[in-house]
Amino acid sequence: MTLYSRRKLLATSAAGGLIAAAAASGAAAETYSAAAMSDPGPRDGAEEAINPFEWQGLPTDHGNLGTLRHSFSQVHNRHTDAGWAREVTVRNFPISKNMAGVNMRLPTGAVRELHWHVPAEWAFVTYGQGRITAVDSGAQRFVADVKAGDLWFFPGGVPHSVQGLGPDGCEFVLVFNDGNFSEDSTFLITDWFNHTPKDVLAKNFGVPAATFDNTNRKDLWIFGAPLPGDLSADLAQSKQPFVPNAYAFPLGDQTPVFQSAGGAVRIADSENFPATTMAAALVEIAPGGMRELHWHPLSDEWQYYISGTAQMGIFHGEGRNNTVEFHPSDVGYVPQSIGHYVKNIGKDTLRFLEVFTSAKYADISLASWMNNVPHELVSAHLNIDVDTLRKMAQSKTPVVPV
């Protein structure tokens, strides 16, 4: 069966391009007749091209698992004069019940206002540099500069800020351990000041009420501010102790926990990043390589695709299996313990994030499982002789080579 690429679909006309593409390739649909594949319309060829597996699934696909893919490129972008943010939550991605995502851009000097929120915040920097600050419940402080490939984690309720540094600020993706959470649902310092009587503020801070005559700035959210000085100056400003476990972690600089000709996997969880209660993996797959058949027993999986083109197959049991295609800025979601694989079907290196609500990263490999029970038992299930089973992949191989 021929699958049509995004490029081919975008090039075909809405009047019957899918059939024309099949004829041009000489495939004429090995599984489906031309009549079965026809769609007189109306059609949206551009939308169909985003995930061709929706129109023509693999022969192994069956049933409807709902929408397993969404994209930051498809959602409303909230702009200010200083920067922007867009979000994917359970409201526009219903399967994403346990995690919500935000993509934010802070140019040089732009600040994500001092704020806090109920859920925890996990973040990965995809571009540039920024400075982050936080203070925990013990009045212990944290200030650090982060760069592309770094991540940070702020526990729920911990107040924090982010500012873009030179030369071109930063861009990052945030993940919250609550699918209902919205970037608009944060507690802003300016908002609290605006709704607190001046005499109360004066009493709280031990200064005259007139001190707050000009603090009625409403909902700054993202705004321009002077660039901070050298990091050492910010670190020396207060004599309060620092948080015992840093809230930032250089994930991209870590030695991969697994590396092969097919790619690499880097992991950040509570074992090497003590501050976090959310685990994550940065996965790189070479063209033709594949993230092996596996599942995650501790948490749902929230995915963010950074580069390349991916094909993911999801096995949900009850005879249901769907295939989905992903591109940069796409978000994927796999419920806890649901089997899946991710294959690089493009010409460039595939890079994506796996994020979990559990503090410890865990996955179970299909190949490893099969090798760790008696071969005769597996043979009885799959009708594959024992000698052949011994020659098959025997160990956990997170990224299968080309």
pLDDT at position 4: 40
Q: Are residues 51 and 77 in the same domain?
A: no
Does residue 183 carry a catalytic annotation?
Answer: no
Q: Quote the pLDDT of residue 310.
A: 98
Residues 217, 339, single domain; the answer is no
Would you say 160 is a known binding-site residue?
yes
Q: How many CA atoms lie within 13 A of 141 on its CB side?
A: 13
3-state SS, residue 62: strand
Q: Is residue 342 part of a domain?
A: yes
**Structural domain contains residue 195:** yes
Please tell me which residue in 48, 113, 171, 354 is annotated as part of the active site: 354
- Domain annotation covers residue 391: yes
My answer on whether 264 and 243 are in the same domain is: no
Is 259 in the same domain as 124? no
Flag whether 87 is marked binding: no
Q: Is 70 annotated as a binding residue?
A: no
Contact between 327 and 305 (Cβ < 8 Å): yes
269 and 392 in a single domain? The answer is yes
Residues 194 and 318 grouped into a single domain:
no
Specify the number of domains making up the chain: 3
Q: Do 225 and 91 have their domain in common?
A: yes
The verdict on residue 65 lying in a domain is no
Q: Is residue 55 part of a domain?
A: yes
Q: What is the pLDDT of residue 48?
A: 82
Out of 37, 59, 81, a domain closes at 59
Please indicate, yes or no, whether residues 107 and 137 belong to a single structural domain of this protein. yes
Per-position pLDDT tens, the chain of length 402:
344 444 344 434 333 443 333 333 333 334 667 777 788 889 888 888 888 888 888 999 999 999 999 999 999 999 999 999 999 999 999 999 999 999 999 999 999 999 999 999 999 999 999 999 999 999 999 999 999 999 999 999 999 999 999 999 999 999 999 999 999 989 999 999 999 999 999 999 999 999 999 998 777 999 999 999 999 999 999 889 999 999 999 999 999 999 999 999 999 999 999 999 999 999 999 999 999 999 999 999 999 999 999 999 999 989 999 999 999 999 999 999 999 999 999 999 999 999 999 999 999 999 999 999 999 999 999 999 999 999 887 789 999 987
Same domain, 104 and 227: yes
Cα–Cα distance, 197 to 34 (Å, whole number): 72
Residue 258 inside a domain? The answer is yes
pTM: 0.90
Do 26 and 81 belong to one domain?
A: no
- Which of 322-333 are b and which e, b meaning 16 or more Cβ less than 10 Å from the residue's Cβ? bbbbbbbbbbbb
**Of 333, 312, 313, whose CA–CA distance to 62 is shortest?**
313
User: Is 340 labelled as part of a ligand binding site?
Assistant: yes
Which residues are CB-neighbours of 286 under 8 A, at least 6 positions away? 261, 262, 263, 344, 349, 350, 401, 402
Residue 265: CATH number of its domain: 2.60.120.10
* Strand order from edge to edge, sheet including 301-307: 69-71, 330-334, 301-307, 350-355, 280-285, 263-268, 258-260
Domain that holds residue 23: 6-59
Same domain, 331 and 346: yes
The response to whether 76 counts as a known ligand-binding position is: no
Residue 1 lies in a domain: no
SS3 371: helix
